Amino acid sequence: MQRIGVMTSGGDSPGMNAAVRAVVRKAIFHGIEVIGINRGYNGFIEGDMWPMNLGSVADIIHRGGTVLHTARSEEFTTPEGRAKAYSNVERFGIQGLVVIGGDGSFKGAKVFHDEYGLPVVGVPGTIDNDIAGTDYSIGFDTAVNNVVDAINKIRDTATSHERTFVVEVMGRHAGFIALKAGLAGGAESIIIPEKPFDIKEICNKLLRGVKRGKLHSIIIVAEGAASGLDVGKDINEITGFDTKVTILGHLQRGGIPTATDRVNASLLGSKAVEVLLEGHTNKVVGNRNSKTIFYDLEEVFDNKKELNTELMELANILSI
C-alpha cells in the first residue's frame, strides 16, 4: 500500500484533528502518502482532495472541529454518487481509506467497499459515544466536560435566585452525555432516551428537596428523551417553582479537546493505519479496557451500545 485517503464525516467532534494528525504522520512514518479528502463524502465525489504532508497537520492537535471540514452527503447514498467517488479513487491512486465519523459514515464506507473493494477502516468520532464495540469515541470526553462546565455556571445563578434549571443536552438516540455529565454535575434528575421517566416522580423529588432546605435543582434532559422546554413547563405547572430552561445545543461540540480525547484520537488514528497495512478491511478501531483494538464493521450495525445502568442507579442515590 503506497497511498491512502483520510476524511472526517458527519457531525464534527473535538479530537478529530488529533486523529487526522495521527493518520498522516503514522502513514508518512511508514513511507505511505496521504490524500486528505475535504468535506467528507461530498469532497470524495467532487474530487476535493489534496496530498498531505507533515506540515499539513502541524499545530492542529489542540484545535476543535476538523481541518478537513465535514458534511453530510445525500449523493453518496446513490450508486451514481459512489461511482463518481470511485473515479476519484482511481484518479488519485488511493489504495485504502480511513473514515473518521459515526455509524452513518461507517455505513457509507462499508457500502463503498462492498461495491468497489477499496479497503476501509473506521475511526469512531462522535460526541454521542454511541458506537458499539468501543468504550469511548473521539469527542465524548470533551463534550461531557463542556456540559459539566455549563452546569457549574448555571448552578451559581440557580443558587442565587433559588430556581430550578432544566438543561437540555445532545443525544438524539443515546443518553451517554446526559448520564455522565449529570452524575459529574450533581444533577437531581437525569432524563435519557433509554429509560422511561415519570415527570410527577421528578417533581416529587424536587418538592422533597425544598422541604429539607435545598436552594436549587438541576435537571438534565437528553434531547432524544424529551424537550427541555416541555419538561420545564411541566415542572412549573406541577410544583409552581420558578423554572428556567437552558438548551446547550452545539456549544457542546466545540472547544479545545481534552487530553483524554487527544490521546484517544492519536491512538485510534495510528491504529487505523496499522490495520490497513496489515491487509485488513471493513474494520473499526476502538478501545476496550484501556487497550486499542480493531473489530468488524458489522459489530457497529448489528449491536446497540448499552448504557452503564450502575451509573444511573448511583446518580439517583447520590441526588436524594
Query: What is the rounded distance in angstroms from the CA atom of residue 100 to the CA atom of residue 17?
Result: 10
Q: What contacts 299, CB < 8 A, 6 or more positions away?
A: 132, 133, 284
Q: Hey, is 257 helix, strand or coil?
A: coil
Which of 276, 266, 264, 262 has its CA nearest to residue 30? 276
Q: Hey, is 182 helix, strand or coil?
A: helix
Report the side by side order of strands in the sheet with 283-288.
Answer: 49-52, 33-37, 3-8, 97-101, 120-124, 283-288, 291-296
Strand 49-52 relative to strand 33-37: parallel, antiparallel, unpaired?
antiparallel
Q: Hey, is 221 helix, strand or coil?
A: strand
| Annotated active-site residue in 128, 130, 141, 261 | 128
Query: What is the rounded distance in angstroms from the CA atom of residue 54 to the CA atom of residue 14?
Result: 21
Give the H/E segment covering residue 143: helix 140-161
Is residue 128 annotated as a catalytic residue, yes or no? yes
Q: List active site positions.
A: 128
